[in-house]
Chain A
Amino acid sequence: MTQTVSRPAGAPQAPLPLDVEAIRADFPILGRTVRNGRRLVYLDSGATSQKPRSVLDAERDFYENHNAAPHRGAHQLAEEATGLYEAARATIGAFIGAPENEIVFTRNTTDAINTVAYALSNAATAKEPAFRRYAVGQGDEIVVTEMEHHANLVPWQQLCERTGATLRWLGLTDDGRLDLANLATVVNDRTKLVAVTQQSNILGTINPLGDIVARAREVGALVLVDGAQSVPHQPVDVTALGADFLVFSGHKMLGPTGVGVLWGRYDVLDALPPFLTGGSMIEVVRMEGSTFMPPPQRFEAGVPMTAQVIGLGAAVEYLQRLGMDKVEAHEQALTGYALARLAEIPGVTVIGPPDTVARGGAVSFTVEGIHPHDVGQVLDDLGIAVRVGHHCAWPVVRRYGVPATTRATFYVHTGYDDIDALADGIRSAQQFFGVAAGGVS
């Protein structure tokens, strides 16, 4: 098996919106080789993205020159650390069109969703009457979709189990879209919150949030948008979104692990009780009881992930230099090219929308006669990193009747050459397992 890369005959590809070679030079890890000297073809940014040097430098600079616990201490380092931490909050807020007091730092998307889910159940027993406004209990309903990542499904299942509320969901169509035919009945007067992803991590589908938000508004339900796969890849502005919460992870958008964001409308955040309690989130503590800070501090108990927040600020600045419009256009061009290249291979079936309309760059597929793990193993042997399995969205693979898929995801450093390597790698896997003609031998 060799890594010669074949371009399809004919149509030369339009130049990509981003300068891939220049961008690759910013990512130290893309300079290494894997599996006996092969170039790393990283097609797993949907799981976690690689980090440009400016992000690594920002973290290192913080530890080498400014390290202290923010919002504590009366010394110069504490002042500098607080300044950098809060400046990053403002940068990250501006990136999604939000004021800084609506940005809560969490560990990741999962943590952000749990913060909301636990606030809704804690609300029922809150001592402070103002915290009971969004209490969820028996007779109430929470709505999700069949497309959700486990992180935007299991916390709501658990909320319903804790409170006696009912979980309902919107199903999927055969071509990988949300089935909104019964939106008006699934989202109804009993609905307290609708939790929906903006972009599917497995199908790539970009959802029509406008319709869902409009229906939720009619019935007075809150809307939480899972932006883990959208905020890194397309411009997102919370003032246009119309939702009440937007959650996303730093590590999927060129930032460090260990930091995520919960954006919430200030008046909504202000009416929610805390999830985690302890230091930094309190106003007054007495042995008999305590009162809490206003948002965002109310939801940031303990010394925060300061270096990671500062690193995420640097990642946002890197993306802003590229321009999110260009990032989106770049990935759309790559997605169109990938769908075309995969369509040329007999036996390969894409799970998800077949074209680039309302679709992001997560391309999941099956190869007839070869299990996704084995496809992934052959690709790995060629230096190509993909994700295999159910992608933390088990109901989705079950819905489409496959045990698992292989998934390629793209980002700012992805070029046509990476997708050519993927297509050739799939053919190599077919040869290796003797299913080259697209059927089982």
Chain B
Amino acid sequence: MQLQSMYQDIILDHYRNPHGRGLREPFEAEVHHVNPTCGDEVTLRVHLDGDTIADVSYEGMGCSISQASVSAMYDLVIGKTVPDALATGEHFRTLMQSKGDPAVAEKLEDELEDAVAFAGVSKYPARIKCALMSWMALKDASARAWSSAPAPTEGAQS
């Protein structure tokens, strides 16, 4: 059956037992993103420590792909600097645009860890938006947290 290529066990595990779920304090930015074609929603908060992502907390509802994606993203970005996390997000986007090409998934395996299991989603154009929603929310929230922070990195560097 074709379905298993998309619904990898890793994805279903994240869906059933999401990592880092729930909204927490403190945070510098909160965003709400929706996927208007299907009604998937995520509320996501980012807490920065300097330029490092100290916490990402979230609540949301949606399909298994959207919910598993935010859980896998949580594992990937905590402890990364904002630029590194956003670079990882770009790798994930590349994976989503790979149309199931195994060479792309193989190349990104180290970078994306569990999230490389989403490679199968890239064969289903209608589901790519589900997988990308949380990454879009992270990008948005990080940018807001970054701009609202009183120039913490400059302070640390000088």
Evaluate contact between B2 and A35: CB separation under 8 angstroms. Answer: yes
Q: Let me know if A397 is at the binding interface, CB within 8 A.
A: yes
Provide the residues of chain A in CB contact with B37, threshold 8 Å: 389
Evaluate contact between A403 and B2: CB separation under 8 angstroms. Answer: no
Evaluate contact between B39 and A397: CB separation under 8 angstroms. Answer: yes
Using a CB-CB cutoff of 8 Å, which residues 361-415 of chain A contact chain B?
Answer: 371-374, 377-378, 381, 388-390, 394, 397, 403-404
Provide the residues of chain A in CB contact with B124, threshold 8 Å: 377
Provide the residues of chain A in CB contact with B7, threshold 8 Å: 374, 432
Evaluate contact between B62 and A403: CB separation under 8 angstroms. Answer: yes
Closest to B1 in A: A1
Evaluate contact between B2 and A36: CB separation under 8 angstroms. Answer: yes
The CA of A114 and the CA of B41, in the complex, are separated in Å by 29
The CA of A193 and the CA of B22, in the complex, are separated in Å by 46
Using a CB-CB cutoff of 8 Å, which residues 129-152 of chain B contact chain A?
Answer: 130
Evaluate contact between A404 and B3: CB separation under 8 angstroms. Answer: no
Scoring A374, A403, A433 by chain B CB atoms within 10 A of each residue's CB, the highest score goes to: A374
Provide the residues of chain B in CB contact with A373, threshold 8 Å: 38, 40, 62-65, 127, 130
Scoring A1, A36, A404 by chain B CB atoms within 10 A of each residue's CB, the highest score goes to: A404
Q: Let me know if B6 is at the binding interface, CB within 8 A.
A: yes
Provide the residues of chain B in CB contact with A403, threshold 8 Å: 39-41, 61-62
Provide the residues of chain A in CB contact with B41, threshold 8 Å: 403
The CA of A279 and the CA of B129, in the complex, are separated in Å by 41
The CA of A362 and the CA of B76, in the complex, are separated in Å by 42
Using a CB-CB cutoff of 8 Å, which residues 111-134 of chain B contact chain A?
Answer: 124, 127, 130
The CA of A48 and the CA of B43, in the complex, are separated in Å by 33
- Tell me the minimal C-beta distance from B58 to chain A in angstroms: 16
State which of A1, A377, A381, A404 has its C-beta within 8 Å of the C-beta of B39.
A404
- Tell me the minimal C-beta distance from A13 to chain B in angstroms: 30
The CA of A373 and the CA of B127, in the complex, are separated in Å by 9
Provide the residues of chain A in CB contact with B38, threshold 8 Å: 372-373, 388-390, 404
Provide the residues of chain B in CB contact with A388, threshold 8 Å: 38
> Chain A, interface size: which category?
10 to 19
Evaluate contact between A394 and B1: CB separation under 8 angstroms. Answer: no
Evaluate contact between B3 and A378: CB separation under 8 angstroms. Answer: yes
> Chain B, interface size: which category?
10 to 19
- Tell me the minimal C-beta distance from A421 to chain B in angstroms: 16
- Tell me the minimal C-beta distance from A426 to chain B in angstroms: 15
The CA of A1 and the CA of B12, in the complex, are separated in Å by 18
Evaluate contact between B39 and A432: CB separation under 8 angstroms. Answer: no
Evaluate contact between A377 and B127: CB separation under 8 angstroms. Answer: yes
B-contact bits for A340-380, CB 8 A (1 contact / 0 none): 00000000000000000000000000000001111001100
B-contact bits for A171-211, CB 8 A (1 contact / 0 none): 00000000000000000000000000000000000000000
The CA of A416 and the CA of B127, in the complex, are separated in Å by 30
The CA of A403 and the CA of B38, in the complex, are separated in Å by 9
A-contact bits for B58-70, CB 8 A (1 contact / 0 none): 0001111100000
Scoring A372, A377, A381, A389 by chain B CB atoms within 10 A of each residue's CB, the highest score goes to: A377
Contacts A381-B2, A381-B3; is A374 near B39 (CB within 8 Å)? no
The CA of A433 and the CA of B7, in the complex, are separated in Å by 10
The CA of A122 and the CA of B133, in the complex, are separated in Å by 40
Provide the residues of chain A in CB contact with B65, threshold 8 Å: 373-374
Closest to B12 in A: A433
Using a CB-CB cutoff of 8 Å, which residues 1-41 of chain B contact chain A?
Answer: 1-3, 6-7, 12, 37-41
The CA of A377 and the CA of B63, in the complex, are separated in Å by 10
Closest to A371 in B: B63
Provide the residues of chain A in CB contact with B12, threshold 8 Å: 433
B-contact bits for A11-37, CB 8 A (1 contact / 0 none): 000000000000000000000000110
- Tell me the minimal C-beta distance from B122 to chain A in angstroms: 14
Evaluate contact between B1 and A381: CB separation under 8 angstroms. Answer: yes
Closest to B65 in A: A373
Evaluate contact between A389 and B2: CB separation under 8 angstroms. Answer: no
- Tell me the minimal C-beta distance from B124 to chain A in angstroms: 7
Provide the residues of chain A in CB contact with B2, threshold 8 Å: 35-36, 381
- Tell me the minimal C-beta distance from B34 to chain A in angstroms: 10
The CA of A157 and the CA of B99, in the complex, are separated in Å by 40
The 10 closest A-B pairs by CB, nearest first: A373-B63, A371-B63, A389-B38, A404-B39, A390-B39, A381-B3, A403-B61, A374-B64, A403-B39, A374-B63
Binding site for B on A (CB under 8 A): 1, 35-36, 371-374, 377-378, 381, 388-390, 394, 397, 403-404, 432-433
**Would you give 30 A-B contacts (Cβ < 8 Å), ordered by A?**
A1-B1, A1-B3, A35-B2, A36-B2, A371-B63, A371-B64, A373-B38, A373-B63, A373-B127, A373-B130, A374-B63, A374-B64, A377-B3, A377-B127, A378-B3, A381-B1, A381-B2, A381-B3, A389-B37, A389-B38, A397-B39, A403-B39, A403-B40, A403-B41, A403-B61, A404-B38, A404-B39, A432-B3, A433-B12, A433-B64
Q: A390-B39, A432-B3 are in contact. List 5 more A-B contacts (CB 8 A).
A: A373-B64, A377-B3, A377-B124, A381-B2, A403-B62
